[in-house]
Structure 1
């Protein structure tokens, strides 16, 4: 099986030279369980830290066009496949924003959304019939719900008082599981002296966009602790709602679940939160949990992925270099930690699940490793295969 590899080049302190190719077994294998091999570069470019495929259309075959977030250059570049393992630029790069770190393409291939970590921009770009991006339009800026103008009332996310919810969850969980409930009532007890000064210095940091069913688009802002929901207006994005997560949590990446829930992993607090739509279509924060008791001070969560059947979620944790396994319970509204295991790499920046195999990119150890998932409890086992790969930051399965 083949994967395109995004990575950091010298302009971001990395050792990659562009977009690379990873083989898991033979190139035409349907599974990713075979030996891993870094097969070299398929396109030369500067720090393509995130890759996203064109979904395919009447004029573009699925996967023949790939978009790269050129993080240091603050641009999005499209690449067209010219052979089994070669790409050439498709059109000129398009300006996005400072430290553009993510690209998501609409299911119909009409436009893409770029997220910029450095300046918080969310940018819509039109795609022509060939998949070439153009006409960037910056979406309205996020509003910090914890900023100096937010008021003195307790901030509620989706009409939930997080402090009260934490107390109720801890009481319901009992003494044995109380430590798994996030301590969102601690700030209430300690008071908020000085919070205004700290909040005024918080920067907006957009990090991911996800296309949800029904034409809705969700984006994260880990600087302002919000998830925003949008509709496409044809020439730009129209915000319809903003949901606040706990202050300082840092929502980074999301996974939409077939149950209709949206799971959000937080970079700073190493937690997972559950969002759900109400009958009127508005989204609410309905629950959350830590990634596990083994996370350490200074850890930062990275990617979030789901198992093939949606029963388990996997979050990468940089610092302690672990992978958190969480089980989806109920009708999708509950998520509980199962295990925290060694990721087998240094700085697990990104991972993907292919059937019963989890592949993880170790940005700082310059390698990709594969781990087998236990079919009984969903937990990744020991490293099955590994290969050297230069500063990998993104794994994209080749269609």
Structure 2
């Protein structure tokens, strides 16, 4: 396996010890080398790359938030655009054709679709969908909190709202972000991240309930139906658990999650082609307060925010990751994605 570069987003200033976006290198033996500061930025806690251009996008996670675009050609980062966002933008995704950047604003509960030009740069103002609703967990669900987005095979954009216990489905129609439907989830579960399994089902990690939800699509992903629920960890999750990331592995045979309170990564076996999940094993994250994780073929890299490290694991034939080498020091890492 050849070497490859990874981008790391961090928390900066009062929120953390980072200085911006870092570049690390995954060597052929899976171990990470670096880091190198690629660009100074304000709390670029989540990153995304354009599917067809050398452009990297980052949130600026603060009360008066923003998003930044960088030219990533040549291995470096050069700022090429800035746009305002809502309060505390925390997640980015790019639509498959590369025409929209989808931004989840946790603080304001809004979802925005930012037009992108042929070169991957910002090409106009965002279309913004306001959030609504609340949940029973008073200190976390006093109002809407958009948290993540994922692209369904039919072009529907699925978003989680941790504050309102909703999956909201959007479509781009006549160049605008249009609400296609909403799916209520169990009260107080707090949906955080989601993925669309190759089999078609949608998997959601619920931060507040420490659970995994499996939903099947209805009306072309405009609505969804909960068909299975399972624990987010194989053992105790902690109270509160603070479940975080959710990623697919091994072509969809496994799902991996991180849980901050107990500092574990959990391997979940995918059952019935994606219609159910079964937690297999909890593995220490190699640090404290694991946030994002990146599945890199047979390797996994876990960003441990509070211990200022990224830990590397090798995924075994049974789907369970085992630690490799010594965790790499990186200040306040939050997000890890391939360059």
Q: TM-score range by the shorter chain?
A: over 0.9
For residues 330 and 197 of structure 2, what CA distance do their matches in structure 1 show? 31
2:285 matched residue in structure 1: 343
1:20–1:234 distance in 2 versus 1, CA, 3 Å: farther
Deviation by residue 1:122-157 (Cα, 9 ceiling, x = unmatched): 01111122222231121142344x5xxxxxxxxxxx
Question: Gaps (5+ residues) in structure 1?
Answer: 147-194
Instruction: Report the TM-score when normalising by structure 2.
Output: 0.93
Q: CA deviation at 1:293?
A: 2.9
SS class of match (2:149): strand
CA distance in 1, matches of 2:51, 2:73: 17
Q: Is the 8 A contact 1:79 1:87 kept in 2?
A: yes
Unaligned runs of 5+ in 2: none
1:330 aligns with 2:272: yes
1:198 offset after TM fit, Å?
5.3
Give the whole-Å Cα distance in 2 for the aligned partners of 1:80 and 1:143: 38
Q: CA RMSD in A?
A: 1.9
Q: How does 1:1-399 map to 2 (within 5 A)?
A: 1-10=4-13, 12-25=14-27, 29=28, 33-56=29-52, 61=53, 64-72=54-62, 73-84=64-75, 86-91=76-81, 93-133=82-122, 134-144=124-134, 202-278=142-218, 282-291=223-232, 292-375=234-317, 377-398=318-339
Inter-CA distance 230–16: structure 2 relative to 1 (3 Å threshold): same
Does the CA contact (< 8 Å) of 1:36 and 1:385 recur in 2?
no
**Cα-to-partner distance string for 1:349-369 (whole Å, 9 max, x where unaligned):** 110111111110011100101
| CA distance in structure 2 between the partners assigned to 1:397 and 1:341 by the alignment | 23
Name the CA distance, whole Å, in 1 between partners of 2:132 and 2:296.
Answer: 35
Q: Provide the C-alpha distance between the structure 2 equivalents of 1:45 and 1:267, rounded to a whole number of angstroms.
A: 27
| Residue 81 of structure 1: how far off its partner (Å) | 2.0
Which deviates more from structure 2 when the two are superposed, residues 366-375 or residues 132-141? 132-141
Instruction: Decide which structure has the larger Cα Rg and report it.
Output: 1
Aligned length: 332
Q: Deviations over 1:297-338 (max 9, x none)?
A: 122100001112211111000011011111111132111111
Quote how far apart the aligned CAs of 1:250 are.
Answer: 0.7
CA gap 1:386/1:280 in 2 versus in 1, 3 angstroms: closer
C-alpha distance after superposition, 1:57-107 (max 9, x if no partner): xxxx3xx101101111500110112522x111112x111100001111111
Contact 1:139 1:236 in 2 (8 A): no
| Contact 1:252–1:265 (Cα < 8 Å) also in 2 | yes
1:289 is paired with a residue of what secondary structure? strand
Q: What corresponds to 1:163 in structure 2?
A: none
The CA distance in 2 between the partners of 1:250 and 1:318, in whole Å, is 15
Distance 2:310 2:97 in 1: 31
SS in 1 for 2:274: coil
